[in-house]
Amino acid sequence: MSNMIERVARAMAESAGFSWEHCTQEQWKADARAGIAAMREPTQAMLDEVCSSENIEPFTDKTMTSIYRNMIDAALK
């Protein structure tokens, strides 16, 4: 199984009409890494959705932001 960066890069390349096997994969991976990194800070709407859509004890925005950032950091490794 590929890592998240490669999964995003492949999706971006194929969405743009390129064959993954015949494109400059390293550039697409760099672009995917930049896109994932830009998502590192959750929006307030994202934080609100977690609280409203799950039947869980409410977390603070700070706790959810920390969890979300850790997940994005793991994707970037």
**DSSP code per residue over 33-71:** HHHHHHTSS--HHHHHHHHHHS-SPPPPHHHHHHHHHHH
Find the mean pLDDT for residues 5-15: 96
Kindly indicate the confidence band of residue 53, based on its pLDDT and cuts at 50, 70 and 90: low
- Residue 8 CA to residue 75 CA, distance in Å, equals 10
- 11-48 confidence digits (pLDDT tens): 999 999 999 999 999 999 999 999 999 989 888 887 77
pTM for this structure? Answer: 0.73
Q: Are 37 and 76 in contact (CB under 8 A)?
A: yes
69: Cα separation from own chain's centroid: 10
- Residue 44 CA to residue 42 CA, distance in Å, equals 7
